[in-house]
Each structure stands twice: as structure tokens, then as C-alpha cells.
């Protein structure tokens, strides 16, 4: 299992130390939640701060946009050269065009599906995607409870992926912990985001290790 700690739950007053500490663990990516106060009722960090995070981090970034006007945000963040940029399918009229744009910048591209969104909406997009992120909470805040029907959704998506683009990864975001990680693995998930579970623990390495199954 690939593990991407979400810095939304870190202590932003000590962000330098927090990034250094998380990079000493066996995690694979740093998950960065970019929220604009419009698509979701929360506002987080912009390119200036994310650029600094990227400089401190020895792990590649996984940037999750929860914003309106995705194209504008892609232009703002492209020079940081994250590993992944994902954007919400519910907020994009031309996802195919935007996927191409992100890939043209040499960045892996993916879409995010809210808890209510049926994976069938991406059936004819899947062959162009590097990753699909399924939300297992409503986007906007860390520390919420896991919505377990994402397990069934992941299985449906996995079948579609195997048929149309076996290299595409399934990522899950929200309420992930050591209690649901095995069920996620059994449901075909390749990568998990975890915020509170890791950053509210007393031992980041141990918390990451418990998810790397
Ligand atoms: C929620 C964010 C998540 C969040 C997950 O909108 O997309 O990445 O940080 O936090 P936890 O793991 O605490 O649910
Ligand atoms: Zn996220």
C-alpha cells in the first residue's frame, strides 16, 4: 500500500519540523489539500507555501485540488512539479482537456470523486488517467468518519480499471486508519491518504508502518 500523509492535520506553526519528521518515515508521498473556500467551506494553502513544503520535503507531492476553476490552479501549481495533481470531476466541464494539460506539464493526472459520485462517470476517461481518488469523507476537513460504501465503489472501479487501464491507481482519502486499511486493501486500493491518524499519533513512523500492508 502506498501511503500519503495529509499535512492538513499537521501543526502548521511547526510545519518545517513536521515535514522533516514525516519524511523520516516510510511514507511514499506528501498529500497536500488545496481548498479555495468556494468548492468546499474551508481555505488552506496556496503555491507560495506549497513551494516551501516541496523544498523541505524529500518525498514527492500529491496535490488534491478542492477548488473552482481548476485550470487556473493547475497554472498556479505546475512549476512545483508535484508527482500528482488531482481535481474534482464534479467541478470540471472539460476533464479530458485538463488531464491532457496536466500531463503535458510532465505531471501525473487524476480525478477525485465525492462520496455520492458514481464511478461510471469516468468510464470513458479512465484510459487517460494515472490515478483516481475516491473520497471516503466529504471534502473540506480532516478528522471525519470513514464512509464505508467507498469499499464497494472501489471494487466497481477496480473492475473498470482492469478492463480499460490496469496501470491506473486507486487512492482513498478520508478517515483512513489501522482498522479499515485491510478492507481497503481487499477492495483493490493502491494508495491511502491519512491525516489525523498519522499526525495526531505519538509515533509517525509506527502509524505509517501500520498502513503499509
Ligand atoms: C479532506 C482532505 C483529506 C484530509 C484527510 O477534504 O481531502 O486529505 O486531510 O484527513 P483524515 O485522514 O483526518 O480524514
Ligand atoms: Zn485530500
CATH of the domain at 138: 3.20.20.70
Residue-level pLDDT at 116:
98
Name which of 182, 183, 180 is nearest 197 in CA terms: 180
For 166-191, the pLDDT digits (tens) are: 999 999 999 999 999 999 999 999 99
Residue-level pLDDT at 46:
98
Spans in the chain with pLDDT lower than 50: none
Q: Is residue 170 part of a domain?
A: yes
Residue-level pLDDT at 173:
99
Q: Is residue 175 part of a domain?
A: yes
Catalytic pick among 33, 62, 130, 190 = 33
For ligand 1, pick from 7, 18, 33 the residue to mutate: most ligand atoms within 8 Å of CB: 33
Strands lying side by side in the sheet with 84-88:
2-5, 191-194, 169-173, 131-135, 108-113, 84-88, 61-66, 30-35
Residue-level pLDDT at 75:
98
Report how far residue 97's alpha carbon sits from residue 102's, in angstroms, rounded to the nearest whole number. Answer: 9
Residue-level pLDDT at 103:
98
Q: Is residue 38 part of a domain?
A: yes
Q: Is residue 211 part of a domain?
A: no
Q: Cell 487501464 belongs to which residue?
A: 165
26 carries an active-site annotation? no
Ligand 1 close to Cβ of residue 171 (< 6 A): no
Q: Is residue 108 part of a domain?
A: yes
Q: Is residue 80 part of a domain?
A: yes
Ligand 1 close to Cβ of residue 181 (< 6 A): no
Ligand 1 close to Cβ of residue 67 (< 6 A): no
Q: Is residue 9 part of a domain?
A: no
190 carries an active-site annotation? no
Residue 98's CB is within 10 A of a number of other CB atoms, namely 18
**Do the strands 61-66 and 108-113 form a parallel or antiparallel pair, or are they unpaired?**
unpaired
Sequence-distant (≥ 6) Cβ neighbours of residue 16 within 8 angstroms: 56
What grid cell was written down for 35?
481548498
Residue-level pLDDT at 51:
98
Residue-level pLDDT at 13:
97
Is there a contact between 31 and 5 (Cβ–Cβ < 8 Å)? yes
Range of the domain at 99: 31-190
**How many structural domains are present in the chain?**
1
Distance 31 CA to ligand 1 centre (A): 9
Ligand 1 close to Cβ of residue 64 (< 6 A): yes
Residue-level pLDDT at 169:
99
Q: Is residue 97 part of a domain?
A: yes
Amino acid at each position: 500500500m502506498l501511503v500519503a500523509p495529509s499535512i492538513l492535520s499537521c501543526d502548521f506553526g511547526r510545519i518545517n519540523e513536521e515535514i522533516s519528521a514525516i519524511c523520516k518515515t516510510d511514507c511514499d508521498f506528501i498529500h497536500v489539500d488545496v481548498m479555495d473556500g468556494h468548492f468546499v467551506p474551508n481555505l488552506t494553502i496556496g503555491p507560495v507555501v506549497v513551494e516551501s513544503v516541496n523544498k523541505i520535503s524529500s518525498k514527492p507531492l500529491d496535490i488534491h485540488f478542492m477548488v473552482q476553476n481548476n485550470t487556473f490552479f493547475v497554472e498556479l501549481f505546475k512549476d512545483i512539479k508535484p508527482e500528482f495533481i488531482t481535481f474534482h470531476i464534479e467541478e470540471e466541464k472539460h476533464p479530458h482537456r485538463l488531464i491532457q494539460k496536466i500531463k503535458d506539464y510532465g505531471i501525473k493526472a487524476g480525478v477525485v470523486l465525492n462520496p455520492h459520485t458514481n464511478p461510471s462517470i469516468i468510464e470513458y476517461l479512465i484510459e487517460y488517467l494515472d490515478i483516481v481518488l475516491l473520497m471516503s469523507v466529504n471534502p473540506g476537513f480532516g478528522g471525519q468518519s470513514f464512509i464505508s460504501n467507498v469499499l464497494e465503489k472501489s471494487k466497481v472501479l477496480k473492475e473498470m480499471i482492469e478492463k480499460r487501464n490496469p496501470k491506473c491507481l486507486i487512492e482513498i482519502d478520508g478517515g483512513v486508519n489501522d482498522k479499515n486499511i485491510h478492507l481497503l486493501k481487499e477492495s483493490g486500493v493502491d494508495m491511502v491518504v491519512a491525516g489525523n491518524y498519522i499526525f495526531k499519533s505519538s509515533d509517525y513512523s509506527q502509524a505509517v508502518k501500520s498502513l503499509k500492508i
